[in-house]
Amino acid sequence: MEKPKCPKCGTDEFIVLIKTGEQIGTTVGGIAGGVTAGVAAVESKVGEEASELISEFVSSFSNETIGKVTGMVGIFIAGATTGAIAGKQLGKTIDESRSLYKCNKCGEKFYG
């Protein structure tokens, strides 16, 4: 994709795409993915099984509660990572279709 020229400076050397959608998509996707994975794990008992498996591994070092918490944190992180990746891609698509650019030389914002 070719960058447009700044209407003020007349050059494309300092032009960057404003990535607001990508940033928001990553954040919202990460939170939604983590919460959804956590809720799904609790509801489907997958979380309990994963927690028990991890607690058995960790039990030699700590108690069962820490193992269960560690299992749920792992599931949350996996869901958050997946959600963040999907959210970032969606945000990137929105940013590219919106085509809002900024010139880092003069600060001008414009649609490309």
- Give the mean pLDDT of 12-24: 95
- CA-based radius of gyration for the chain: 22
Domain contains 6: no
Q: Report the half-sphere exposure of 14 (CA within 13 A, side-chain side).
A: 15
pLDDT on residue 64:
62
74: confidence class by pLDDT, cuts 50, 70, 90? confident
Structural domains in the chain (count): 1
| Domain around 35 | 22-97
- pTM value is 0.73
What are 37-56's pLDDT values in tens digits? 888 877 766 666 666 666 66
Half-sphere exposure (Cβ direction) of 7: Cα atoms closer than 13 Å:
8
Residue 43 lies in a domain: yes
Answer whether 68's CB lies under 8 Å from 20's CB. no
pLDDT tens readout for residues 81-106: 999 999 999 999 999 999 999 999 99
